[in-house]
């Protein structure tokens, strides 16, 4: 791959339907740039390096024109063979997968670090058996919503376990973690309220707060949080502080003790999204609040059944009255069919396994600590990770995609986290560790990463090292 020169002409060059740069001014500018960089024997990209940001809310285009315009982003990745997204796998999600390579059409065997399947519950024998056993009795679906005949006794059993896991009175399941965040935030808070959110919360939470007043505080910035709480006190019907239990891109934790103290001092509720905390933190994987011993301080907890639990679905846990309120009025719950019986039974059994086989969680942390040490020792910048989510910082969108592609060609499947998942200059490879990985898997990954760094320099040693 040659060097890509970033040429940002987006503010001056209208993208015509034929995508040509037509004005004499632009032709002259391009000729000058081309001559300059050809003298340096450097390949120049004649168009800007696109990101998804360039294709959001495009003015003057209908939906089909916008979709056609977006193809430039796909083409740009494909030209560099750098599209690591929506690959087809032919095996279960796990530490080792088979992938259809979109560029060669061949089936590749790779060590996989892309999934949030932290404990391997999707393939645990007890979990699979539970899913199989309920189909004969309950069928494959309910074909109706929980409020009108779709609420099975196994749904009640799962929700009871979720509530107990989080130290709450009750819980309500949704079709996904995304639906849970949107459904809860959208219903409970409106323009009479203020949501004060950490900048790195999940996108689904932002979507749920679309009709709410929002103040964003810098990541774990307690001073700014306190200032916003102080200035906003008494001005809104409700104030709520919203944080993640484990942040999905950086892998670090909230300063939950201090955040809870500040919120309570100023009469604000605490809302915690524990999608990446359950199964990872706390006794028997009971999550972030258990880890900090703050179950009684957090008012609302949402989570997912699709990560450490290994199934699909989402939930909210809280007081019995709050859950009843949501059960009858939260739109993604009352207008969606209930979770399939097999999924419900699998998720319920996975929560049991957390307690029955705690060594699985210990193995996850052994692997996490080993990976962090070996990558640090080899000079990679791992940001501020405190969890099995380990970012390997690259800070260049296209470079991160190309590195991911080269890793795949060398038997490692990892996803580049680029905009809009992270800021434009915070691109990284996001490594997800699982209990099903071996030390040899991690060694293999580090070996290939070092090999590619010899070709594409991206190690960024911290100033303290």
CATH, residue 412: 3.90.1150.10
Residue 78, domain member (yes or no):
no
Q: Answer yes or no: do 306 and 369 share one domain.
A: no
Peptide bond into 384 cis (omega under 30): no
Q: Answer yes or no: do 250 and 313 share one domain.
A: yes
402 or 462: whose pLDDT is higher?
402
Q: Are strands 213-217 and 194-198 parallel, antiparallel or unpaired?
A: parallel
Query: How far apart are the C-alpha atoms of 20 and 25, rounded to whole Å?
Result: 13
Region of poorest pLDDT, from 237-246, 248-257, 418-427: 418-427
| Predicted local confidence at residue 47, as pLDDT | 54
SS3 content of the chain, % helix, strand, coil (to 5): 40, 15, 45
Across the beta sheet with 269-273, the strand order is 170-174, 314-318, 300-304, 269-273, 239-244, 194-198, 213-217
- End position of a domain, from candidates 356, 385, 409: 356
Q: Answer yes or no: do 381 and 366 share one domain.
A: yes
Region of poorest pLDDT, from 9-18, 197-206, 315-324, 328-337: 9-18
Question: pTM here?
Answer: 0.87
pLDDT in tens, 407-442: 999 999 999 998 888 887 899 999 999 999 999 999
CA nearest 304: which of 333, 326, 274?
274
11 or 295: whose pLDDT is higher?
295
**Where would I find the beta strands (DSSP E) of 260-380?**
269-273, 300-304, 314-318
Residue 74, domain member (yes or no):
no
pLDDT confidence bin for 15, thresholds 50/70/90: very low
pLDDT in tens, 41-92: 333 343 577 888 788 888 888 999 999 999 998 998 898 888 888 899 999 9
**Structure tokens that stand for 301 in this block:** 């907890």
The enclosing domain of 150 has a CATH number of 3.40.640.10
Residue 200, domain member (yes or no):
yes
Computed on alpha carbons and rounded to an integer, the radius of gyration of the chain in Å comes to 24
6 has a pLDDT exceeding 60:
no
> Which residues 6+ apart lie within 8 Å of 411 measured at CB?
108, 109, 110, 111, 444, 448
456 has a pLDDT exceeding 80:
yes
> Which residues 6+ apart lie within 8 Å of 160 measured at CB?
171
Query: How far apart are the C-alpha atoms of 375 and 379, rounded to whole Å?
Result: 7
In the three-class reduction of DSSP (H, G, I as helix; E, B as strand; rest coil), residue 312 is classed as coil
- End position of a domain, from candidates 326, 356, 386: 356
463 has a pLDDT exceeding 50:
no
Instruction: Calculate mean pLDDT across residues 397-414.
Output: 94
Query: How far apart are the C-alpha atoms of 124 and 357, rounded to whole Å?
Result: 11
Task: Report the mean per-residue pLDDT for the chain.
Answer: 89
424 or 149: whose pLDDT is higher?
149
pLDDT in tens, 173-217: 999 999 999 999 999 999 999 999 999 999 999 999 999 999 999
12 has a pLDDT exceeding 70:
no
Q: Answer yes or no: do 98 and 155 share one domain.
A: no
37 has a pLDDT exceeding 50:
no
133 or 34: whose pLDDT is higher?
133
Q: Answer yes or no: do 138 and 103 share one domain.
A: no
Residue 77, domain member (yes or no):
no
Residue 75, domain member (yes or no):
no
Residue 362, domain member (yes or no):
yes
* Backbone phi and psi for residue 227, each to the nearest 5 degrees, phi listed first: -65, -45
Q: Answer yes or no: do 352 and 417 share one domain.
A: no
The tokens 């009175």 sit on which residue? Answer: 169
CA nearest 389: which of 255, 276, 256?
276
- Whether the CB-CB separation of 229 and 262 falls below 8 Å is answered with yes
Boundaries of domain holding 190: 124-356
Q: Answer yes or no: do 14 and 149 share one domain.
A: no
Number of domains in the chain: 3
Q: Answer yes or no: do 19 and 148 share one domain.
A: no
pLDDT confidence bin for 141, thresholds 50/70/90: very high
Instruction: Quote the percentage of the chain above a pLDDT of 90.
Output: 79
- End position of a domain, from candidates 314, 338, 356: 356
| Predicted local confidence at residue 56, as pLDDT | 84
Q: Answer yes or no: do 167 and 312 share one domain.
A: yes
Residue 71, domain member (yes or no):
no
| Predicted local confidence at residue 362, as pLDDT | 98
Q: Answer yes or no: do 306 and 404 share one domain.
A: no
CA nearest 220: which of 258, 254, 266, 268?
254
Q: Answer yes or no: do 198 and 343 share one domain.
A: yes
CA nearest 346: which of 183, 117, 145?
117
Q: Answer yes or no: do 379 and 298 share one domain.
A: no
**Where would I find the beta strands (DSSP E) of 249-346?**
269-273, 300-304, 314-318
Residue 464, domain member (yes or no):
no
């Amino acid at each position: 791959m040659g060097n890509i020169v970033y040429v940002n002409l987006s503010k001056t060059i209208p993208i015509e339907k034929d995508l040509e740069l037509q004005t004499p001014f632009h032709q002259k500018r391009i000729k000058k740039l081309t001559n300059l960089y050809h003298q340096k024997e450097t390949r120049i990209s004649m168009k800007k390096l696109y990101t998804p940001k360039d294709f959001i809310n495009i003015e003057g285009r209908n939906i089909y024109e916008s979709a056609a315009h977006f193809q430039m982003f796909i083409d740009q990745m494909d030209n560099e063979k750098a599209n690591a997204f929506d690959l087809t796998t032919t095996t279960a999600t796990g530490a080792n997968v088979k992938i259809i390579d979109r560029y060669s059409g061949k089936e590749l065997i790779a060590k996989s670090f892309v999934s949030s399947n932290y404990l391997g519950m999707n393939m645990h024998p007890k979990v699979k058996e539970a899913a199989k056993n309920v189909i004969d009795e309950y069928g494959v679906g309910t074909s109706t919503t929980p409020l009108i005949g779709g609420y099975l006794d196994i749904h009640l059993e799962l929700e009871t376990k979720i509530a107990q896991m989080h130290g709450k009175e009750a819980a309500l399941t949704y079709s996904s973690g995304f639906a849970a965040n949107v459904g809860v935030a959208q219903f409970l808070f409106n323009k009479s309220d203020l949501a004060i959110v950490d900048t790195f919360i999940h996108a689904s939470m932002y979507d749920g707060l679309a009709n709410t007043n929002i103040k964003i505080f810098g990541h774990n910035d307690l001073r700014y949080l306190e200032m916003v709480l102080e200035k906003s006190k008494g001005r809104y019907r409700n104030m709520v502080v919203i944080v993640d239990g484990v942040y999905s891109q950086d892998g670090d934790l909230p300063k939950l003790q201090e955040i809870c103290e500040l919120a309570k001092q100023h009469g604000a509720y605490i809302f915690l999204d524990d999608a990446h905390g359950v199964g990872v933190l706390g006794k028997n994987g009971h999550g972030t609040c258990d880890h900090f011993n703050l179950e009684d301080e957090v008012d609302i907890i949402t989570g997912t059944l699709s990560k450490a639990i290994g199934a699909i679905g989402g939930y909210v846990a809280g007081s019995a009255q709050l859950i009843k309120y949501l059960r009858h009025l939260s739109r993604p719950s009352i207008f969606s069919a209930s979770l399939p019986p097999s999924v419900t039974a699998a998720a319920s059994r996975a929560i049991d396994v957390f307690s029955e086989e705690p060594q699985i969680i210990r193995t996850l942390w052994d692997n996490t600590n080993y990976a962090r040490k070996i990558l640090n020792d080899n000079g990679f910048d791992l940001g501020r990770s405190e969890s099995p989510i380990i970012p390997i910082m690259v800070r260049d969108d296209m470079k991160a995609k190309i590195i991911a592609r080269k890793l795949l060609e060398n038997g490692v499947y990892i996803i580049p986290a680029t905009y809009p998942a992270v800021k434009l200059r915070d691109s990284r490879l996001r490594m997800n560790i699982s209990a099903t990985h071996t030390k040899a898997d991690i060694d293999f990954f580090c070996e290939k990463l070092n090999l590619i760094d010899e070709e594409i320099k991206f190690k960024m040693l911290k100033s303290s090292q």
